[in-house]
Structures are given as structure tokens and as C-alpha cells.
Structure 1
Amino acid sequence: MKKLFGLFYKDLFLGNRLFACLAGSVVLFLLGFFFPWMGEIPVLVFWLLMIVIFIDLLMLYRNREGVFARRMAPERLSNSDDNELGIYIENRYPFNISVGIIDEIPFQFQQRDIWFKTVLKPRERKQISYTLRPTRRGEYEFGDIRVFVKSPLGLISRRYNFNQAEVLPVYPSFLQMRKYELMAISNRLTDIGIKKIRRIGHSLEFEQVKNYVAGDDYRTINWKATARRGDLMVNSYTDEKSQHVYCIIDKSRAMKMPFEGLSLLDYAINASLVLSNVALLKEDKAGLITVSEKIGAVVPADSKYTQLNKILEVLYKEKTRYLETNMEALYTTVRRVIKQRSLVVFFTNYESMPALQRQLPFLKRIARFHLLLVVFFENTELKTLSEEPATDVEGIYIKTIAEKFAYDKKLMVKELAAHGIQSILSTPQNLTVNTINRYLEIKARQKI
């Protein structure tokens, strides 16, 4: 009995309307001292209020399970994307209720405003949707759902606690990956900034002989088929397939720098996942290598159906380290793992020319055997500082230093090009689009 009373007291909350009614009752008692003609009116009002409170308690507590709530969440969340979640709520009372809902979301979001208010009719069911945007990979622990119910009287509220504790993993941006996948399948990549590349010549993989249409390359006319059919016929060629595409992700301290809530490593991971998916859709083989002061994960290139899930599981666990990249170990691993000429996309970051010079000898060795594409990041904060007008001596100094760093980034691109190494200097938010553009350009120009 004591336990039941404790639970009753614990889940009982007094409403603002009740406090207003009690304040009004107190005012009536005070007025009764000055106006004797009021007589027993304050006492009658007080006991009437007590009866209404008792009725309100009876309405809320006569049902053991007056409401039901459940969180509607996916099996996993996508990093840096808006993930949709929902709360299913059901009214089991025979009257209208006002409901306040608190969903205890993980502390990583640092949000305390997940509070929803709604009104439910008798036996009505409703689903409330909201979105969460995680900025770190890992496990996110959700807590309980707490529902506060008020009857039409609205004097008190009863709390229901629903044990919905669960842990959801946050994976690299698979929602972004699916978006690009659908665009690639429907040939609508240009809608999101992917450029069409004009082909120069054609690959060696013959596909079919077809009728000539305006715009076809006249150099592909098949004169023998034309003579037999009496109509112009042209040879159709397709992209070369089964080429190897490796993404190498630098996990050193250079990739720890944050941008809009995500680290540069997270941007590189998201771009690698999308690039691997597009490569598999183009019937190439995708692989992955991660490196910091030592070699991390190695996923040999393959085109199997399970390859993308294998890459996704590996990227989910990767974290930045705090030491320099071991380029010697990377070169040894590339020579050991990658047996044929491949496209090697190296995601890293350089903030100064000496940082590039330290790695350049190893990059040149890798470029001797493979088509190397170095992807590094443009510092948008420095770019903003360099474009702002200077108003004093300190401003001139800051602007000059920012322009120097921005100019060094452009020198790095030229330095890499001078040694036959392709590069992409990209802002973090445009990294995925720029990387896919370059991959499609390389395939169209048959450079692998």
C-alpha cells in the first residue's frame, strides 16, 4: 500500500489552473474578514474545489493504462543528415485529454526542447514526427518517453513513464549515399551539381551496332553494316568496367579540424562511401584503406553485392588519431594490396607547404604505379577573413596572413600537378560532388 501511494504521489503534478483556483479561494477567505455578509461562501467554494480535484483524480487514475506511447525509430541513424523519428500515442480514456510528451534523446544532441503538446479524442491514435541531426558516428543512447496527461478539468496531470531505452548506432551518411544512388540510376546527377563530361574518343569495350542519330560521332560509322542495311549504322561503345577504385582515408590529427559540427574525417568518410557506391553502380570494384601513424582497415577492391556493407561497417568504427601519417607504411600497403593499376583517391589535409613536402616523395612513388588523386580541404574561415576589408593595422595583419595561407593551398595544387599527381581542393560541403565529378571525368577520359 505504501509503495502504491509512493507511485501515486510520484506521478502526480499540480497544474497552473489548480494554483489559480487555490489563489482565488484564498482571496475569498481574505475578503470574508472584511465583508461579513459573504458568510460561508469561501468555505463552500473551497470544498467545491476539493470535490472537483477529487473528480479530476478519479478521472485520471481510474484507468491503470490510460494512454500508450512508443518511439518510432529506424534501426540506425545517418550521420550529418536529418533523421526522422516519431512518437506513437494512443488515448485509452473515454474522454478528451491534453497530452504533453517528453522524449529523452541522447545527450550528444544537447537539446532540451523535445516537448510536444497535443489533444486526443477518446480512443484516438496519433503519430508525432520530428528530426534529429547527429554530427558524430557511434552509439547514441535514448531514454524513456514521459507522457503528462490532463483531463478536461485540467487541474492536475498524471505522468506515464514508458521504458523505451535503446541504443541506436550512427553510421556514415547512408542517406546521402542513397540520394546519389537514385540520381545515378535515373541519370539525374546533374540536378545536384554532377557535371556531364564530353567524351574524347571512346573506350575499347564494344557494346552494339545501332542506327545513326544526330549527334553521334561520325568516326564510329560502321561502313560494312551501313552497306548491308542501306542506313547509316554506328558502333556503340560502353565504359570500361571492373576497374579498381580505392579510397584512402587519412585519420591523423590533420583531419580533426571541425566544420559545421563535423570533423574533416567525417566529410571524407561520407564522400568515400558515396564514391564507393557510385563506382559499384558503374560496375567498377571499390576498395578502402585507412591510415594514421599505422595502417588501419584494409578492404580489398571487389564488386560483390556485400562490398558496400563491408565498407560501411569499417567506416562506422573509424576515429581520428593524434599523430602524423605514416606514409612509408601506406606506400608499402598500397604496393602489397593493390596489384593492378587503379584509381587511388587519397583524402587528407595540408595546412602548409612543408606538410605537403614531407609526404610528396611517397605520393610520387604511388603515382608511378597508379592514378593518384589527392583530395584536401579549403579553409573556408581563412577565405572569409581574406575577403573581409581591413579597417586597422591588426586587420591588415590578419588579412595578409589569411591570404598567404589561401595562396599556399593553390601552390600545393600546382606542386602536385608538376609531379603528375591530380588533386582536388574543395570546401567540406562540396567535397562529395567534386569527388564524384572528378571520378566520372577520369572514367570518361579513360585515364585509369
Structure 2
Amino acid sequence: MKSLRASWQRYLSRADRMLPAPRLAVWWAVCGSVCFATVGWAIPAWWWFVAGGVLAAVCAADGWRLSRTTVVDARLDWEGLWQIGVPTEVRLTLQMMGPDAAAAARAARAGACFAVDDGLPHTFARPGAPQMEAAGGPGRVVLTWRRTVVPDRRGRFCLEPVDVRWPSRLGLWVRQRRFPPPAAEALVFPDLSTWRSQVLALQQAHLQEGRRVQAYTSGHTQFAHVAEYTPDDDPRRINWAASARRGRLMKNVYEPERGQQVVIAIDAGRYMDVRAESGKSRLDHAAECAAGLLETALRAGDHVGLVAFHSRLVTRIAPGRGDAQREAVLAALARLEAEAVQTHYGALFAALAGWFHRRGLVVILSDIASLAEDTELIGLLRDLRGRHQVLFVSLADAESERTARLLPRRKHDFARIAAAEWVLADRAAQLARLHRYGVAAVEAPAETLVPHVVRTYLLRRRRFAL
């Protein structure tokens, strides 16, 4: 009995196998029921043997035709990058050959006994029903299976083999084939679509060529171009040689020096694993903010690096620019996961002191609540502020803000509102302490976090605060 069960399990684990369909059992059950119901009738016994033989022959012929029909090729692909919470269309192209290829195509369009396991993680949401398209002749059919998949988590996921199951012409048998996945793993990146239009608008407003450049008060500049002088411009910018050649006042236009360094430091401690109202964790929103800042800084010609830390250093990518740097940072953001440990900023500042020597901008993506846990943070920030410009970014506590605005209706509402007000007051005190020590801080809700941080970066860069 054990050997029979083991043999059946080995058969089920085969990549190419045929299985009896429920309709086959129904046919034989109906045949047996008729036999028992007609016992005692004046029907010769040989007639039942003939009927059973015909039924067995039909089943065998249906199975033989199915065995001659197979999927010769299966290709699973999708467009673009996997992004958390963003619908992505998955497309599976099947090439079928054999006498029952057309019947399988009809069953696929009707959705009868035609099943596809795309091999993607089962935690991904799959809204709606899959769509099937068929093209080709009687002996060769190309099927295109489409379905919308929404990743629910960011990170690295292993892809399973792709299983395709289709019925025979009469629906008595089902054949299944297994194909290797298109890749060993899939990376789900942060959401790169929700903030893109707002960030592009900010870039056009601050970095578009031909716009009037304001006067700068500090920092290093480089010559951009010569433009016509207007009464509101600084007279010290007048280019007298160009004015003499053209017969009207011309001015020199300067722009921020390109190639400045920006380091994005992401906290991956326990506070960042808290889920926000959007269903994403604070770390997911921090990764989206880092991706938006990365795109903006690279477009501006700056060098961007990445540091991830909690109780120790997790990820470190030296500042650089170009497409290779963008891909490396985005891949690191996709793989980043929060740990249930307390954040120690000493690991971050030790890493920055070791390899980040040129003056630049350090953007720390963390939570304000973690500031109270690290008593040495303010002193470390003061030391870092002497070498670099520091921008501390935190996601606003939307739940506490909403609770603090509620009107008490029951007794326990007073305690909830008081606790929310205490949390907000503590966060405001931490922000004020950062400002007292000269550290710029940004706290914004999830909907406006990326545009707010990008705007702050562009303004500081425009004023040469880096």
C-alpha cells in the first residue's frame, strides 16, 4: 500500500502527466447505476459488456487524442517593474500542437477546466478574472493568457514553475505540463508611479533650462549661459563684453555646481516596520521617498549613495551617478527589510565618517519616535552637522492626528484623545530639538512625503546649501 501511494505521489510530481477528470467518474457512475437499476429486466448480459466496452473505448480514444496534444512552449512575461500596490499585467503565451489543440482553445475561451498557475507568490492580489485569447488553425493554436496581479509587499520573492492544465475534447481527461519560471526570483520595488508626476513638475519648475535663475548667496557656482539683463537682476552679474557686442545689457547666469554628493540613510529598525493607514509600512514609504529623491538628484547631475542601518550597518552603496547607480540603489531598496531591533545611529555616523569625506547632504529617513530612544543622537547630529548638511525626514502620525481631532462621545474616548495629544506633543518637541541644533527636519503625511522632500532638496540645492 505504501509503495502504491508513493508511486502515485511520484506520478503527480511529474512535469507532464494526464489525470482523470470528474466527468470520467460521472460517466462510469451513470453507467453502473443504469446496470444496477435494470437488474431483472429482459436484457441480455452481453449487452452490458458491449456497452461497457464501447464506453471504455471512447475514454481510451479521448485520452489518446489528448496525449497527442501538448504545449510545446510557454513564455511568461510582464511589462515594467514590479511595484508594491501597482497593478501589473502578467501575460502567458502558450503554443499548443495536436489533434485536440482547437478543442483546448475553445475550452480556454469558455474557461472550462483550463487552469494556469503562473508561479507568482500566492500573497499577491489577483483582482478580476483572467482573459484568454486564441489564434491559429486546427493543429496549432497560440493561446495568450492575461491577468492583473498586484504585489502586496516589497522585497525579493522566489518564482515557482508555471503549471498549465487543459482538458480533452470530451472532457474526460486533463493533461498538465510544467515549465520552468522565467527567472529564479522577482524583485518588488517601491511604488515609483504615484509621485512621478508631482516630482517631474517640481523638476521643471526648479531645474528647467531657460528659466530665470535667482541670485545665490553662498556656495559654489558654475557658469551656465548669457541672457538678457532685466531691471530686477543683480548689477554685478552684467557681462560688459557681451553687452558691447550685442548693443544691449547682457548678464551671466550661474547654476548650482553639478556633481554634488547626496547620501540617503534609511532606518530599518523596529519603528519602521509599523503599518500605516495605506497598508504599507513606514519602511515602504521611506523607500518610495528615497526612490523619488534618487531620481531627482541623478537628473540634477549629483552623485547619490545609499546607507541602510538599524543596530548595525545593513547596506552601503558609495555615491555615484548614471543608470547603473540608479539600478543598484533601486535593487537595494527593493531588498531592504525591517528588523525588530532598536535603531542605533552610531552605526550610521561611523559609516559616514569612514568613507563619506566630501561635504554633501545627508538625508536620514527615520521616525521621530526613535529620537527619544537614542540619547547620543543629538550629539552625533551636531558633529555631523559640522561636516555635512543634514535633513531628517519622518512620516507623520496620521492616526494620532485624526484621533486628537475627535470629539469625545464615551468615557474611554478621553483617554484615547489624551494619549494621541501626548504623542503629538512629544513628536513636536523632538522636531523642535532638531531645529535648535541646526538640523533641518521634514514631517509630512504619506500622500505628500515624496514631493515635500524633493522640494526641500531642490530649494536647498538652489540656494547652494549643500
**TM-score category of the 2 structures, normalised to the smaller one:** 0.7 to 0.9
Kindly report which structure 2 residues correspond to 1:81-92, keeping only aligned pairs within 5 A, or say none: 81-92=86-97
Partner letter of residue 71 of structure 1?
L
For 1:258, the equivalent position in structure 2 comes to 275
TM (norm. structure 2) is 0.76
CA contact (8 A) 1:378 1:409 kept: no
Partner letter of residue 57 of structure 1?
G
Partner letter of residue 200 of structure 2?
L
SS for the counterpart of 1:238 is strand
For 1:433, the equivalent position in structure 2 comes to 451
Q: Percent identity?
A: 19
Q: After alignment, is 404-413 or 432-441 more displaced? A: 404-413
- The offset of 1:292, in angstroms, is 2.4
In 1: Cα distance, 2:427 partner to 2:96 partner:
61
CA contact (8 A) 2:268 2:339 kept: yes
In 2: Cα distance, 1:8 partner to 1:195 partner:
59
Q: What residue ranges of structure 2 are gaps of 5+ in the alignment? A: 109-113, 207-211
Partner letter of residue 160 of structure 1?
R
Which of 284, 299, 309 is matched with 1:281 structurally? 299
Q: What residue ranges of structure 1 are gaps of 5+ in the alignment? A: none
CA contact (8 A) 2:119 2:162 kept: no
Question: CA 1:178–1:393 in 2, change beyond 3 Å: closer, same or farther?
Answer: closer
TM (norm. structure 1) is 0.78
Question: CA 1:27–1:67 in 2, change beyond 3 Å: closer, same or farther?
Answer: farther
SS for the counterpart of 1:258 is coil
Kindly report which structure 2 residues correspond to 1:32-111, keeping only aligned pairs within 5 A, or say none: 32=38, 49-63=55-69, 65=70, 67-72=72-77, 77-78=82-83, 81-95=86-100, 96=102, 97=104, 98-99=107-108, 100-103=114-117, 105-107=119-121, 109=123
Partner letter of residue 385 of structure 1?
T
CA contact (8 A) 1:177 1:273 kept: no
In 2: Cα distance, 1:309 partner to 1:79 partner:
17
The answer to whether structure 1 residue 245 and structure 2 residue 245 are counterparts is no
Question: CA 1:39–1:398 in 2, change beyond 3 Å: closer, same or farther?
Answer: same
For 1:189, the equivalent position in structure 2 comes to 200
Q: Give deviations 1:383-427, integer Å, cap 9, x for gaps.
A: 343344443111232132123323433333333223322111123
For 2:111, the equivalent position in structure 1 comes to none
Could you say what the CA RMSD is over the residues aligned between the two structures, in angstroms? 4.2
For 2:398, the equivalent position in structure 1 comes to 380
- The offset of 1:372, in angstroms, is 1.1
CA contact (8 A) 1:267 1:428 kept: yes
The answer to whether structure 1 residue 13 and structure 2 residue 31 are counterparts is no
In 1: Cα distance, 2:265 partner to 2:382 partner:
15
- The offset of 1:374, in angstroms, is 0.3
In 2: Cα distance, 1:115 partner to 1:101 partner:
12
In 1: Cα distance, 2:89 partner to 2:57 partner:
44
Kindly report which structure 2 residues correspond to 1:7-406, keeping only aligned pairs within 5 A, or say none: 11-22=17-28, 24-25=30-31, 28-29=34-35, 32=38, 49-63=55-69, 65=70, 67-72=72-77, 77-78=82-83, 81-95=86-100, 96=102, 97=104, 98-99=107-108, 100-103=114-117, 105-107=119-121, 109=123, 118=132, 120=134, 122=138, 123-130=140-147, 131-133=149-151, 135-138=153-156, 140-164=157-181, 166-170=183-187, 172-173=189-190, 176=192, 180=196, 189-190=200-201, 196=205, 200-202=214-216, 204-211=221-228, 217-219=232-234, 222=238, 224=240, 225-231=242-248, 233-259=250-276, 260=278, 262-303=280-321, 306-312=324-330, 314-315=332-333, 318-351=336-369, 354-355=372-373, 359-406=377-424
SS for the counterpart of 2:301 is coil
In 2: Cα distance, 1:339 partner to 1:353 partner:
25
SS for the counterpart of 1:124 is strand
Partner letter of residue 399 of structure 2?
E
CA contact (8 A) 1:210 1:236 kept: yes
SS for the counterpart of 1:248 is strand
Aligned length: 434
In 2: Cα distance, 1:152 partner to 1:279 partner:
60
Q: After alignment, is 215-224 or 141-150 more displaced? A: 215-224
Question: CA 1:199–1:411 in 2, change beyond 3 Å: closer, same or farther?
Answer: farther
Partner letter of residue 176 of structure 1?
L
The answer to whether structure 1 residue 408 and structure 2 residue 440 are counterparts is no
In 1: Cα distance, 2:75 partner to 2:424 partner:
51
For 1:417, the equivalent position in structure 2 comes to 435
SS for the counterpart of 2:262 is strand
CA contact (8 A) 1:245 1:343 kept: yes
SS for the counterpart of 1:176 is coil
SS for the counterpart of 1:447 is coil
CA contact (8 A) 1:297 1:314 kept: yes
Q: Give deviations 1:231-274, integer Å, cap 9, x for gaps.
A: 45443332321222111222222222233554323432342243
In 2: Cα distance, 1:115 partner to 1:244 partner:
48
- The offset of 1:55, in angstroms, is 2.8
Q: Give deviations 1:52-76, integer Å, cap 9, x for gaps.
A: 323321221234x355423336898
In 1: Cα distance, 2:160 partner to 2:179 partner:
9
In 1: Cα distance, 2:354 partner to 2:38 partner:
96
In 2: Cα distance, 1:165 partner to 1:414 partner:
52
- The offset of 1:218, in angstroms, is 4.0
